[in-house]
Chains A and B, each alone.
Chain A
Amino acid sequence: MTTATPAVPSPGPTTTGPGYLVGQVWPTARWLLRAAIYLAVWFWGLAVVAVTIATVVVAVVSEPTVSILAFARQGAIWFPFAVFIAVSTAYFSVHVATGLTRRSFALGAIVTAAVTALVYGGAFSVLLLVERAVYGAVGWEWRFFDDLSAGAGPGTFIPASLLTYLVAYLSGLLVGMAYQRGGGFAGTVTLPLTAGPILLVSALFSADTGPIATESWFGGRGLSVPIAVAAALLVAAAMAVAFDRLARGAAVPVRTT
């Protein structure tokens, strides 16, 4: 061993076998998905219990006229959003420390966010249809009325939910990585860019209700669903690219006990 010696020619790789994990994205996604689905089962299990109790209470007091399950939509946005922040912050260090690349982390996390959005969106849609069937059987009026357009049907709420969830979960990853890369100040300052798209995509699908009524943006007419879907997909793609770029340059932070 020497100090300050001139650079010597590389001895070249010495490992002959695959001493590392080949194909790291799927194992990463599988690990993250396992946790996400475990949490999803808990979330929707609790939602079903809470909605059932609320429906019974409302039915005793008066008569349900709107979907109660629809109000779970906000929870299904923000709960996994928080979980994905933790993926970007807590899991990132563990991932790199186990010898895996940032690339596999970024791609695995994006795949997980997309599949989780499908799981939450699918569960939400199926449960809404069940609720609608129950309302129909009992003779109650069923309307979806959250922050989507009043009276929106499955053709709106299914893509709206799926895409809002997708953007929200990607946003969770992006928010976490922005704090990881830039610290508290930069992470907070960039929130309009990292978390703002959740509100934007919600607005794309909610023409005439909620705090952001986009009808006024489009000359008194809301966006058609296909246009809103296309716009939401573009936003999601931009967020995925931004997260990937940030993650690939991130340092593992020094952590103390």
Chain B
Amino acid sequence: MTGFAVQVRDLTVRYGSTVALDNVSFDLRPGVITGLLGRNGSGKTTFLSVAAAFRRATSGAVLVDGEDPWENARVMGGTCLVRESGDVLLDEPITENLGFLEQRRPTFDRTAAETLLEVLEIDPSKRPDKLSRGQRSAFGVVVGVATRAPLTLLDEVHLGMDAPARYAFYDALLADWIEHPRTIVLSSHLIGEVERLLEDVVILDHGQVLAADDAATLREQGLTVTGPADAVDTFVAGRRVVARQALGRTAQATVIGSVPDDGARARAAGLELGAVGLQDLFVHLTGHPAADDTARADTLTPQESR
């Protein structure tokens, strides 16, 4: 199993007068963990809902494994969308929920689910509606990982989970994906935490695609410059600085865009260059400072990066 590919073409979804997704097009590669990043209201959940046949598009198309997912038994059966709230039997014990999933999902691995429940310290005799928010989210993670659907969509499933639980989730997800490769889309605000898992990234903003590329290419859209504060400031003068940190006399600045002699200039100035962090890039791309219309107007687009 390598997972389902997803093709999104001119997808528009409206809720009354609100446009949640506005004519977006991108692809998700099969067998890859893709990060779906975006601010609140950017259209992430709407896209995931259409891909999982939870709702219909207003216009355009989403093809999952080459087919329209709506009422498509094969595609729906191979797709698992886990939302923060969890679509489980709230008033049945978790053990009953596992049996329920086992009957409906041929790819569901009950042993994996029980192991993960143990790792995440969830009592399987409890009902989901009796769990704390974090535990309920963790149970959603268990469902998402153990279902092993060819297309696994995890929508902000980490919300409410404490740091140890989140890191256990990331480790379990990665280990399971290595053993059972499939397409995973991970929607999250905690970009710094999930960055290491992501091979591809799609950034949505106000219903439009700001970037859709592999993470390495996106990181090459900018660079971090670290070294003596004065030298850093000189190096980045006149360039677009999207983040700056200082500790004593040492500073690190994140700039968008690069010029051919950056490496030589940095070496000459005793500076270290590094790849830009996805989080900085995300903040830069999705930031809308009211007084910074000029900066907004020349925000990098994915097309610019190629």
Q: Which residues of A contact B (CB under 8 A)?
A: 1-5, 7-8, 10-15, 17-22, 24, 27, 31, 90, 93-94, 96-104, 248-249, 251-252, 254-257
A3-B302, A13-B74 provided; 11 other pairs, C-beta below 8 A? Answer: A1-B26, A1-B212, A4-B209, A7-B9, A13-B66, A14-B3, A17-B106, A97-B87, A100-B76, A251-B54, A255-B85
Ranked nearest first, the 4 interchain pairs of A and B with the lowest CB-CB distance are A20-B77, A97-B87, A10-B66, A251-B55
Question: Which residues on B are within 8 Å of A, measured CB to CB?
Answer: 1-5, 7, 9, 25-30, 34, 45, 49, 52-56, 63, 65-67, 71-74, 76-81, 83-85, 87-90, 100-101, 103-107, 133, 136, 149-150, 200, 202, 209, 211-214, 302-303
Q: Verify B74–A19 contact, CB threshold 8 A.
A: yes
Interface of A is mostly: loop
Partner of A24, one of B9, B34, B73: B73
User: What are the residues of chain A within 8 A of B84 when measuring CB–CB?
Assistant: 256-257
* Residue in chain A with minimal CB distance to B159: A257
Partner of A98, one of B73, B83, B101, B303: B101
Cβ of B300 to closest chain A Cβ, rounded Å: 13
Is the beta-carbon distance between B106 and A256 smaller than 8 angstroms?
Answer: no
Q: Are A1 and B45 in contact (CB under 8 A)?
A: no
Given contacts A1-B213, A99-B104, A255-B83, are A12 and B26 in contact (CB under 8 A)?
no
If A11-B66, A255-B83 touch, whether A98 touches B26 (CB-CB below 8 Å) is no
**Closest CB-CB distance, B113 to chain A, in whole Å?**
14
Q: Is the CB of A96 within 8 A of B88?
A: no
Min distance, Cβ B105 to any Cβ of chain A, angstroms:
6
Q: Nearest chain-A residue to B136 (Cβ)? A: A257
The reply to whether B78 and A20 form a contact with Cβ atoms under 8 Å apart is yes
Within 8 Å CB of B80, what residues of A? 99
CA separation between A10 and B76, bound complex, in Å?
17
A14, B150: Cβ atoms closer than 8 Å: yes
Give every chain B residue within 8 A of A7 (Cβ-Cβ): 7, 9
Residues of B within 8 A of A104 (CB): 73
Nearest-CB distance from A37 to chain B (Å)? 16
Whether A94 and B88, one on each chain, are in contact in the complex, defined by CB atoms closer than 8 angstroms, is: yes
Q: A3-B212, A14-B65 are in contact. Are A101 and B73 (CB under 8 A)?
A: yes
Residues of B contacting A15 with CB < 8 Å? 1, 4, 65, 74, 78, 150
Q: Tell me the bound Cα distance from A1 to B216 in angstroms.
A: 12
Q: How far is the CA of A4 from the CA of B34 in the complex (A)?
A: 17
Q: Which residues of A contact B302 (CB under 8 A)?
A: 3
B residues less than 8 Å from A102 (CB atoms): 71
Does B103 contact A27, Cβ atoms closer than 8 Å?
A: yes
Tell me whether B100 and A103 are in contact (CB under 8 A).
Answer: no
* Chain B residues whose CB sits within 8 angstroms of the CB of A14 once the complex forms: 1-5, 30, 65, 150
